[in-house]
Amino acid sequence: MAKRNIIVIGASTGGVEAFQQLIDRLPDHLDAAIFIVWHMAPTLRGVLPQLLSKFTTIPIAHAYNNEPLQTNRIYVAPPDHHMLVENGNIRITHGPKENRFRPAIDPLFRSAACAYGNRVIGVVLSGALDDGSAGLWTIKHYGGLALVQDPQEAHVAAMPENAIRLVAVDYILPVAELAAKLVQLAGQDVSDFPQISMEEDEKTKTEIRIAADETAQGLTIMEHGQSSRYACPECHGVLTQIREGSLSRFRCHTGHAYSSDTLLATITEKIEENLYGALRGVDESIVLLNQLGDQLAEANQPRQAAIYFQKAQEAHLRGEHIRQAIRTHEPLSLEKLTHPDTDIILNNLH
């Protein structure tokens, strides 16, 4: 009989401390393969294995492509690469970003669920927005277990809170108790692989192949969802909306993927960027209009010069409206909308 021995863990902001506490409480030998994704900048040096190795004697290192899967190992996704789990081995890829990150949590969770079904335990720790929720949903859909760090303990509560809101989570525990629960669950016998509809299984496999950077093979996600009215913030392609239970997320034809919360945050962040672009154009037009007006005045054409100076003044007033829009604009996310008191506290600190 198969054993529950695949543990996938994801975190973002505040994740290093949570990883350390979790790893520190695991026994020296665990009959399970552990996979860790931590959201990081692509230029960040991959120091997580060195940091975590101080807290365990379990071998821990960045995974490499086609590495054989072994139990009593901790595999860490390397910077700027997705880590995917296949039957018996690991793939390291440079596929499209998901939720603005590579490595991303959802591709790992999704691939583990597809390959190992109810043998998988998914764990979501501290982090912003709702990264990991879609992958955790897939783990549950394929018969696995979903564990989440208690949001009240997490350094950043949004990821655990959203996972609890969107997924039928099995356990919500502080990190110390999560470690004990993993030890209890790891190695347990599991029943037969659950039945998954052909359509759902094909969608999952398509998304795994996209994360594996196989988009040149004519893969399309459009047949698994509906075209939305939104453009991909990264490549400006049309986003396809995918629904899974109460989850709604988006993916473009080149492969970039967004949860609803991450899409909202990205769109509202880009509004400020676009406003500054408009302001730059207005300021440049003011400088040019005044320069041309000066040239006309020097050429003894005061009436024409006055028109240019007047248009420059009108542009200045428009620029002030744009500056006011920038001052009052705020990036939005589900966390900011559901916890408005946080912004009040931060504003009072400044």
Which tokens go with 48?
């997580």
Task: Quote the CA–CA distance of 274 and 262 in Å, as a whole number.
Answer: 18
Q: Which DSSP string corresponds to 104-147?
A: -HHHHHHHHHHHHGGGEEEEE-S-STTTTHHHHHHHHHTT-EEE
pLDDT tens per residue, range 57-86: 999 999 999 999 999 999 999 999 999 999
The predicted pLDDT at position 350 comes to: 41
Which of 145, 159, 44, 46 lies closest to 99, judged by CA? 159
- What is the percent of the chain where pLDDT is above 70? 95
Is the Cβ–Cβ distance between 18 and 159 less than 8 Å? no
39 is catalytic: yes
Which tokens go with 188?
């347990």
pLDDT tens per residue, range 82-93: 999 999 999 999
pLDDT tens per residue, range 258-314: 999 999 999 999 999 999 999 999 999 999 999 999 999 999 999 999 999 999 999
Task: Quote the CA–CA distance of 61 and 52 in Å, as a whole number.
Answer: 9
> Which sign does the torsion angle of CA 236, 261, 224, 217 carry?
positive
Taking the model in full, what pTM does it have?
0.89
Using 50, 70 and 90 to split pLDDT, how confident is the model at 344?
very low
12 is catalytic: yes
The predicted pLDDT at position 341 comes to: 61
- Which of 106, 130, 131, 261 is the catalytic position? 131
Mean pLDDT value across residues 180-192: 92
pLDDT tens per residue, range 128-142: 999 999 999 999 999
> Which sign does the torsion angle of CA 204, 208, 213, 214 carry?
negative
Task: Quote the CA–CA distance of 218 and 214 in Å, as a whole number.
Answer: 8
Task: Quote the CA–CA distance of 332 and 325 in Å, as a whole number.
Answer: 15
Which of 96, 93, 67, 71 lies closest to 81, judged by CA? 93
Q: What H or E segment, with its residue span, contains residue 6?
A: strand 6-11
256 is catalytic: no
